[in-house]
Amino acid sequence: MELLRLDLQFFNQEKTEKATPKKRQDSRNKGQVAKSQDINSAILLFFVFLFLLVFGSVMGEVFTGMYTYSFTEFIHWEVTAATTEQVFFQMTMEAVKVVLPVMVVAVIAALLSNYIQFGLLFSGEPLKFDLKKIDPIKGFKRIFSVRALVEFLKSLLKIVSIGGVCFAVLWLQKDELMLLSLKTVSESIAFFAQLTIQMGIAASLMLMFLSVFDYLYQRYDHEKNIKMSKQDVKDEYKKMEGDPLIKSRIRDTQRQMAQQRMMSEVPTADVIITNPTHFSIALKYDEEKSDAPLVVAKGADYVAFRIREIAEANGVMRIENRSLARGLYASVEIGDSIPEEFYQAVAEVLAYVYKLQRKV
């Protein structure tokens, strides 16, 4: 009977693992984030139409005044290069007064929609030229991919939903539409402007509702795309471990944590033996836990100063003994008992401390 051979490396390449923080950051640096264009469009449309709802009448008056002035004043001017330039400049400035606020609102809305989705991000990576983006084979695959089908269904749903909302707005205004023939031109223009704004706000709200589901899908798709294989995780770990900078940071972090733990033990010490300035050794003796006093903290120079400072703040007695401080600093590690050679000297120090504290 012939046995089938399985290559375990094949399964090792399956992208089954969640992306590591480093992988997520690398993807973010490349501009690869979960983002819904529908949220951008919905927020942009909503704020623009809301701006038009509030300031539309003012903008209409500016345009009306501009055209009125054109046909009452400019038409009487002599056509020369200077007057033409002046007319063009004045008309442009009036148009800027109307269009610029709308553009500012649109830019703010676009920035806000992006910030809501993925925070502050500036990356030029998506703008770089990449031949893979124009690969016809990959382009063909994208056209007939699951994502393309989802995008088609989304577009269909948006057309139906937004079309339905706009029809509902028109239906509510059907009586006014029937009476348009009885209105003046200015009244008809004002009505259509108001109707357009109503449809725009209603459509943007519907799109905003649909964009929530689109964003959830984009997040799911993004998480799926940045998944890693077990081998990818191992390679990343090896790379990070081999990086001298990463190793240095890890050692610094470990050193800081160890020093913080050590400093937290200083208030529990019975005595601090000093050099008096270069070395500080914190000793603690609990006859129920150990046969000899323990070194709970030690340090030189600045660390020694911090030990003395914490001890003073917590009422721990400090004794100056240069030779004993140097000997303990060189011979005993933090958490270890003192060697027998220091028993006599340390016992005398502790007896003196206990006597002062009236423990004996």
Domain ranges for the chain: 30-225, 265-356
Give 79-134 pLDDT, tens digit per residue: 788 888 888 888 888 888 888 989 999 999 989 988 888 877 776 665 566 556 56
d(CA 177, CA 159): 24
Local structure of 231: helix, strand or coil: helix
* 204: amino acid identity, one letter: S
Collect all residues with Cβ–Cβ distance below 8 Å to 121 and sequence separation of at least 6: 28, 31, 33, 114
d(CA 231, CA 35): 28
User: Any idea what the Cα angle at residue 215 is, between residues 202 and 169, rounded to 5°?
Assistant: 10
Give 125-150 pLDDT, tens digit per residue: 655 665 565 656 665 566 667 778 88
pLDDT, mean of residues 162-177: 91
CA distances from 241 to 80, 172, 247 (A): 76, 67, 6
For the question of whether the overall pTM of this predicted structure is more than 0.85, the answer is no
State the CB neighbour count (10 A cutoff) for residue 167.
11
* CATH superfamily placement of domain 265-356: secretion proteins EscU (3.40.1690.10)
Among 25-39, 126-140, 260-274, the range scoring the smallest mean pLDDT is 126-140
The pLDDT value given to residue 13: 62
